[in-house]
Amino acid sequence: MAFILSTEIAGTINSRKASEMAPILDAANRSSRIRGVLIHINSSGGEANASERIYRKISAIKAKKPVFVHVTGICASGAYWIASAATKIYAMETSLVGSIGVISITPNVRRLMERIGVDVKVLKAGNLKDMGNPFVVMDDKAMEKMTSIIKSAYNSFWSSVSRERKLPEEKKDQIATGEIFTSSDSLSLGLIDAVGDGELALEDLRRTTGIRKMKFITPRRPIIGRIIGSAVDQAIQETLSSWSETLLM
């Protein structure tokens, strides 16, 4: 029997999240029984690569069947990149949407190491091999290279959003500023299609597909999350991510 598949993307978008979502999205793409997909999103973003991986899978599904996104809380940065692949985007009145931008944060602890008497020696082959090393000050060449990488990811982000949402290039300076927008502003800017709750999105998808039956599938958490709880697991992952050189969206 045909049905609508409903799932959710919540929390930080990272490689683990992309791996969790992959089986669900791949099944939605392959199965002829699944006639439409509804994704509930509540995320402030995360890693650029992980966001792109999920975005591409949703794009592949949309080529075959409708994919609707409902923003339950926040849909920002990489989460919005993911949402932009959908056929339609719905958001609650109090939701926050957007933050089209890229950032890379690398802490520098050189002065702290000097204060406590720790000397760090770095041996490298390749001038930029230690780019982002928290124990040294980033020089101009490394800064220029890192900025170039960030701009490349930013351009990919905007290119996807502008294509999917049919936004003209002249709106880039108004929309792709890295800021988040209210639902009403997002609607007027063309970032979403409607303001409403999940029932509105589901009923619209039912009318579009002609299918009433819906199945909700939750992404399976890894073993560490099932043992110690999702909140603690999430805190660990976010702490580890904050000390990486990963591009964040």
Active site residues: 77, 129
* Burial 193-212, CB ≥16 within 10 A → b, else e: bebbebeebbebbbebbebe
Which residues sit opposite 108 in a β-bridge?
Answer: none
Q: Which residues touch 42 (CB under 8 Å, ≥6 apart)?
A: 8, 9, 10, 11, 71, 72, 73, 74, 75
Q: Give me the helices (H) in 63-129, please.
A: 78-83, 110-115
Alpha-helical (H) ranges within the chain are 15-30, 48-62, 78-83, 110-115, 140-165, 172-175, 183-189, 198-209, 223-228, 230-242
| Pairwise CA distance, residues 212 & 233, whole Å | 36
DSSP strand pairing (180-182 vs 96-98): antiparallel
CA distance 130 to 125: 9
